[in-house]
Amino acid sequence: MDAATDLSPLLSAVAGGDRHALRAVYERQSTRLFGVANAILRDRDAAADALQDAFLKIARRADQFDPSRGSAEAWLAAIVRYAALDLARARGREIPTDDPTLGDTPVESDALDRIAAEAEGARLRECLSGLEERNRRGIVLAFVHGLSHAQIAARLDLPLGTVKAWIRRGLLRLRECLA
Protein backbone atom coordinates (compact mmCIF):
# COMPACT_ATOMS: atom_id res chain seq x y z
CA MET A 1 0.00 0.00 0.00
CA ASP A 2 1.48 3.40 -0.95
CA ALA A 3 1.52 6.56 1.15
CA ALA A 4 -1.46 8.08 -0.66
CA THR A 5 -3.62 5.02 -0.03
CA ASP A 6 -2.84 5.15 3.69
CA LEU A 7 -3.93 8.77 4.17
CA SER A 8 -7.68 8.25 4.57
CA PRO A 9 -7.35 5.81 7.49
CA LEU A 10 -4.66 8.01 9.00
CA LEU A 11 -6.95 11.04 8.86
CA SER A 12 -9.68 9.00 10.54
CA ALA A 13 -7.21 8.16 13.30
CA VAL A 14 -6.22 11.84 13.57
CA ALA A 15 -9.91 12.67 13.99
CA GLY A 16 -9.91 10.30 16.95
CA GLY A 17 -7.01 12.15 18.54
CA ASP A 18 -4.18 9.84 17.45
CA ARG A 19 -1.01 11.98 17.50
CA HIS A 20 1.06 9.19 15.90
CA ALA A 21 -1.28 9.23 12.90
CA LEU A 22 -0.89 13.03 12.63
CA ARG A 23 2.88 12.59 12.68
CA ALA A 24 2.62 9.95 9.93
CA VAL A 25 0.53 12.30 7.77
CA TYR A 26 3.09 15.05 8.37
CA GLU A 27 6.03 12.80 7.48
CA ARG A 28 4.37 11.65 4.25
CA GLN A 29 2.98 14.96 3.04
CA SER A 30 4.98 17.83 4.57
CA THR A 31 7.49 18.17 1.72
CA ARG A 32 4.75 18.40 -0.91
CA LEU A 33 2.62 20.71 1.21
CA PHE A 34 5.58 22.94 2.03
CA GLY A 35 6.06 23.32 -1.74
CA VAL A 36 2.44 24.46 -2.07
CA ALA A 37 2.85 27.08 0.67
CA ASN A 38 6.24 28.21 -0.62
CA ALA A 39 4.89 28.65 -4.16
CA ILE A 40 2.22 31.00 -2.82
CA LEU A 41 4.30 32.91 -0.29
CA ARG A 42 7.75 32.80 -1.92
CA ASP A 43 9.29 32.94 1.54
CA ARG A 44 10.55 29.76 3.21
CA ASP A 45 10.01 31.04 6.76
CA ALA A 46 6.46 32.17 6.00
CA ALA A 47 5.76 28.88 4.20
CA ALA A 48 6.93 26.99 7.29
CA ASP A 49 4.58 29.12 9.43
CA ALA A 50 1.69 28.44 7.05
CA LEU A 51 2.44 24.71 7.11
CA GLN A 52 2.43 24.70 10.91
CA ASP A 53 -0.89 26.59 11.00
CA ALA A 54 -2.31 24.17 8.46
CA PHE A 55 -1.33 21.10 10.48
CA LEU A 56 -2.95 22.59 13.57
CA LYS A 57 -6.14 22.97 11.49
CA ILE A 58 -5.75 19.44 10.12
CA ALA A 59 -5.49 18.08 13.67
CA ARG A 60 -8.65 19.95 14.70
CA ARG A 61 -10.65 19.31 11.53
CA ALA A 62 -9.65 15.79 10.50
CA ASP A 63 -13.20 14.63 11.25
CA GLN A 64 -14.42 16.85 8.40
CA PHE A 65 -12.48 14.89 5.76
CA ASP A 66 -14.85 12.85 3.59
CA PRO A 67 -13.12 10.45 1.17
CA SER A 68 -16.24 10.33 -1.01
CA ARG A 69 -15.79 14.04 -1.82
CA GLY A 70 -12.16 13.84 -2.94
CA SER A 71 -8.69 12.63 -2.18
CA ALA A 72 -6.95 13.19 1.12
CA GLU A 73 -4.05 14.83 -0.74
CA ALA A 74 -6.37 17.43 -2.27
CA TRP A 75 -8.03 18.09 1.11
CA LEU A 76 -4.64 18.58 2.77
CA ALA A 77 -3.41 20.83 -0.06
CA ALA A 78 -6.54 22.98 0.20
CA ILE A 79 -6.00 23.52 3.92
CA VAL A 80 -2.36 24.48 3.33
CA ARG A 81 -3.31 26.74 0.43
CA TYR A 82 -5.86 28.62 2.53
CA ALA A 83 -3.39 28.91 5.43
CA ALA A 84 -0.79 30.36 3.05
CA LEU A 85 -3.31 32.77 1.51
CA ASP A 86 -4.44 33.89 4.97
CA LEU A 87 -0.83 34.56 5.92
CA ALA A 88 -0.19 36.41 2.65
CA ARG A 89 -3.22 38.63 3.25
CA ALA A 90 -2.13 39.29 6.82
CA ARG A 91 1.38 40.24 5.68
CA GLY A 92 0.22 42.36 2.77
CA ARG A 93 0.70 40.74 -0.59
CA GLU A 94 3.79 41.63 -2.61
CA ILE A 95 3.19 42.12 -6.31
CA PRO A 96 4.87 39.29 -8.25
CA THR A 97 7.31 40.32 -10.94
CA ASP A 98 9.42 38.69 -13.59
CA ASP A 99 12.35 40.96 -12.73
CA PRO A 100 14.87 38.78 -10.84
CA THR A 101 16.64 41.83 -9.43
CA LEU A 102 13.62 42.80 -7.33
CA GLY A 103 13.91 39.91 -4.89
CA ASP A 104 11.38 37.30 -5.97
CA THR A 105 12.96 34.00 -5.04
CA PRO A 106 12.00 30.94 -7.05
CA VAL A 107 11.01 27.65 -5.46
CA GLU A 108 14.04 25.39 -5.35
CA SER A 109 14.18 23.20 -8.44
CA ASP A 110 14.64 20.00 -6.45
CA ALA A 111 11.35 20.66 -4.62
CA LEU A 112 9.60 21.24 -7.94
CA ASP A 113 11.13 18.07 -9.34
CA ARG A 114 9.82 16.04 -6.39
CA ILE A 115 6.34 17.47 -6.80
CA ALA A 116 6.32 16.93 -10.57
CA ALA A 117 7.58 13.39 -10.12
CA GLU A 118 4.54 12.38 -8.12
CA ALA A 119 1.88 10.64 -10.16
CA GLU A 120 -0.84 13.14 -9.32
CA GLY A 121 1.47 16.05 -10.06
CA ALA A 122 2.28 14.56 -13.44
CA ARG A 123 -1.41 13.98 -14.18
CA LEU A 124 -2.31 17.52 -13.15
CA ARG A 125 0.54 18.94 -15.23
CA GLU A 126 -0.70 16.92 -18.23
CA CYS A 127 -4.26 18.18 -17.79
CA LEU A 128 -3.08 21.77 -17.32
CA SER A 129 -1.05 21.60 -20.51
CA GLY A 130 -4.20 20.60 -22.40
CA LEU A 131 -5.97 23.83 -21.43
CA GLU A 132 -6.00 26.97 -23.50
CA GLU A 133 -3.25 29.37 -22.43
CA ARG A 134 -5.69 31.94 -21.00
CA ASN A 135 -7.46 29.33 -18.85
CA ARG A 136 -4.18 27.81 -17.65
CA ARG A 137 -2.67 31.21 -16.83
CA GLY A 138 -5.73 32.26 -14.82
CA ILE A 139 -5.74 29.02 -12.84
CA VAL A 140 -2.01 29.21 -12.10
CA LEU A 141 -2.24 32.84 -11.00
CA ALA A 142 -5.18 32.01 -8.71
CA PHE A 143 -4.21 28.66 -7.26
CA VAL A 144 -0.42 28.71 -7.32
CA HIS A 145 0.34 32.39 -6.84
CA GLY A 146 -2.70 33.01 -4.65
CA LEU A 147 -4.06 36.02 -6.51
CA SER A 148 -7.73 36.94 -6.29
CA HIS A 149 -9.87 37.25 -9.40
CA ALA A 150 -9.68 41.05 -9.09
CA GLN A 151 -5.87 40.95 -8.82
CA ILE A 152 -5.65 38.71 -11.88
CA ALA A 153 -7.95 41.02 -13.84
CA ALA A 154 -5.79 44.02 -12.91
CA ARG A 155 -2.57 42.19 -13.73
CA LEU A 156 -3.82 41.02 -17.13
CA ASP A 157 -5.69 44.28 -17.80
CA LEU A 158 -8.94 42.41 -18.47
CA PRO A 159 -12.52 42.78 -17.20
CA LEU A 160 -13.20 40.90 -13.96
CA GLY A 161 -16.06 38.89 -15.50
CA THR A 162 -13.80 37.69 -18.30
CA VAL A 163 -11.17 36.46 -15.85
CA LYS A 164 -13.80 34.69 -13.73
CA ALA A 165 -15.25 33.00 -16.82
CA TRP A 166 -11.82 31.86 -18.05
CA ILE A 167 -10.92 30.38 -14.67
CA ARG A 168 -14.30 28.68 -14.28
CA ARG A 169 -14.13 27.12 -17.75
CA GLY A 170 -10.57 26.02 -17.10
CA LEU A 171 -11.52 24.40 -13.79
CA LEU A 172 -14.42 22.57 -15.42
CA ARG A 173 -12.08 21.21 -18.11
CA LEU A 174 -9.54 20.22 -15.45
CA ARG A 175 -12.23 18.37 -13.50
CA GLU A 176 -13.21 16.45 -16.66
CA CYS A 177 -9.60 15.62 -17.45
CA LEU A 178 -8.78 14.48 -13.91
CA ALA A 179 -11.96 12.39 -13.54
CA–CA distance from 10 to each of 4, 81, 82, 90 (Å)?
Answer: 10, 21, 22, 31
| CATH number of this structure's domain 1-98 | 1.10.1740.10
Share of the chain above pLDDT 70, in %: 80
What's the pLDDT tens digit per position in 60-116? 999 999 888 888 988 999 999 999 988 888 776 455 555 555 544 444 445 545 555
Which of the pair, 92 or 150, is modelled with greater confidence? Answer: 150
The 3-state secondary structure of 28-51, one letter per residue: HHHHHHHHHHHHHHCCHHHHHHHH
Q: How far apart are CA 20 and CA 72, in angstroms?
A: 17
Q: How far is Cα 20 from Cα 48, in angstroms, rounded to an integer?
A: 21
Q: What CATH class is the domain 118-179?
A: mainly alpha
What is the model's pLDDT at position 67?
87
Q: Mean pLDDT across the stretch 150-170? A: 89
Residue 128 has pLDDT above 70, yes or no: yes
Domain map of the chain by residue range? Answer: 1-98, 118-179
Residue 63 has a pLDDT of 93
pLDDT above 90 covers a percentage of the chain that reads 31
Q: Which residues, 6 or more positions from 138, have their beta carbon under 8 angstroms from its beta carbon?
A: 152, 156, 163, 166, 167, 170
Evaluate if residue 120 carries a pLDDT over 70: no
